[in-house]
Amino acid sequence: MKELCIFLGLILLALVAIFTVYVLILTVSAYSIAPVEYTKDSPYFRFLLNISLAMLFFVARIHIETQGMEMVPSGTRFLLVSNHRSKFDPMAAWIVFRDQNIGFISKEENFHIPWFGRIIRKCCCLPIDRQDPKNAMDTVEKAANLLKNNVVSVGVYPEGTRSLSCELLPFHNAMFKIAQKANVPIVVTTVEGTENVRKNYIRRRTHVRLKVVDVISAEEVCSAHNTALLGDRVRADMLRSLRQA
């Protein structure tokens, strides 16, 4: 019994040491990043973020179930769109689409979160000014360039903010201009269950379901006369998936 306690204590000590080293590496790496926008993806910082989110979801007991992943186009960049219920939505999508290297458009405040805010910059995430339409369109142009230059795929939430009621909010259809400008397909997804993470955190498992419900080809995207038509189709896809139609 005494030997077992010593053995378990050594394991615990080793885990603490590994975690401490990891935090130090994360801190030094994150604070070496200049707070600017980047046009080249960093495999190193993407790897760090992948590990961090995997650990977070493990500790928080978040289980992700996926559907329709076979529909995701291979060999091409795309615009990923989804409904938005929780701060955990982009984290779940990041984990599910880790092989596709997604860079999200996100509100400016997220880029000031310690560690995380700096690292996502190196992964080609872009801040958007939701109060200034001109600045927002500049971000649309930058996102389209990331796609055209084959740097990353881009993820957006056309609702523009979280829906606390879980009902689909009105869309900001300008986000679909990214796909039109870059001539790439749109991958339509829905996420359910992330709204339960806060109340379940650690105490019980949270089941999250992420579904790919439609893929709009690049040809269909570019042939749409305006972004409102794309918005209507994406919205109908999401409502049908969420059974809110």
Per-residue pLDDT at 7: 59
Per-residue pLDDT at 96: 97
Q: How many CA atoms lie within 13 A of 206 on its CB side?
A: 26
Per-residue pLDDT at 18: 78
Rounded Cα–Cα distance for residues 93 and 82 (Å)? 9
Rounded Cα–Cα distance for residues 51 and 184 (Å)? 29
pTM here is: 0.91
Burial of 9 (0-12, 13-18, 19+ CB in 10 A): exposed
Quick count: other Cβ atoms within 10 Å of Cβ 152? 22
Per-residue pLDDT at 72: 97
Output the tens digit of pLDDT for each of the chain's 245 residues. Answer: 766 677 566 677 777 777 788 778 878 888 888 888 899 999 999 999 999 999 999 999 999 999 999 999 999 999 999 999 999 999 999 999 999 999 999 999 999 998 899 999 999 999 998 787 788 899 999 999 999 999 999 999 999 999 999 999 999 999 999 999 999 999 999 999 999 998 887 788 999 999 999 999 999 999 998 999 999 999 999 999 998 75
Q: Tokens for 185, please give them.
A: 């397909």
Rounded Cα–Cα distance for residues 183 and 78 (Å)? 9
Rounded Cα–Cα distance for residues 228 and 234 (Å)? 10
Per-residue pLDDT at 125: 96
